[in-house]
Amino acid sequence: MSVPSAWGVPLVAAAVPGALALGAWGWWRLRSTPEPAGSGESGGWVKPRYDVVADRAMLAQVLALAGVLSTAAVLARPAGTTEVAWLPAALGWAMMAGLGSAAVLCDLRTTYLPSSLMRPWELLTALAVLASWSEALVSDPGHTTGLVVRVGVGALAARLLFWGLWHFGGRVGYGDVRLATILAADAALVSVTAWTSWLVAGTLTGGVWAIATAIVRRRRPTLLGTAFPYGPSLAIGAWLALVLQ
């Protein structure tokens, strides 16, 4: 991680309030999100209502994560990357820190990633990728093709992998397919190494989380039954890949 220069300080000042605003908006949006069809009680599993889980405690958690992670996104500029070149990617990660925190905490509490949060997050991620491409086109035209290929292949590979897990194995939900695509694109904006690190770290974290959850729920059953949110582990893997790259 790098210390921001005099130019980088305004970037921190812009990224953090933006992430906080997105996080607060995501929390507010969740409160008015309709319940998905078929999400009632089934086989001992009960989905908590969105307007119930989106309480003041969750808002405080979203804002805390948004503030810390958006600052980390700005400071985690890879060695050899100028602050101008890092700006679009940093803003993409700051969006993840804000809106992503609301979505992932919702997944943690309900095992659902609602479209009301995922759609705007997908749009913001696409804009961050477009901004990174535009910046590279101006400052380093020779690497624009590599950037497009890296992000495109990384996002597509992650989507196909998790789509297969969802479609054939039922191990993850479709929200996890969308989440993996977003996280893969953001990680690929950094580097191929960051993408690989995200996938490995997210998978390992998910495995440990699943085992720990099964042990805890065996002793302390919850309304979620055996339902397990995979999104938080994918997000943790992404931030580990960014900070430790």
3-state helix, strand, coil in the chain (%, to 5): 75, 0, 20
Mean pLDDT (whole number) for 222-239: 83
Enter the tokens of residue 57. 């405690």
- What is the band of 3 on the pLDDT scale with cuts at 50, 70, 90? very low
- What is the band of 2 on the pLDDT scale with cuts at 50, 70, 90? very low
pLDDT of residue 239: 94
- What is the band of 216 on the pLDDT scale with cuts at 50, 70, 90? confident
**pLDDT for 135-173, tens place per residue?**
778 777 777 888 889 999 999 999 999 999 998 877 788
pLDDT at 21 over 50: yes
**pLDDT for 23-47, tens place per residue?**
999 999 999 999 987 655 544 567 8
Domain ranges of the chain: 8-244
pTM, full prediction:
0.88
Answer for the pair 237, 198: CB distance below 8 angstroms, yes or no. Answer: yes
Stronger pLDDT, 151 or 245, i.e. the higher one: 151
Among all chains, which residue has been given the structure tokens 């509490």?
A: 109
Answer for the pair 88, 139: CB distance below 8 angstroms, yes or no. Answer: no
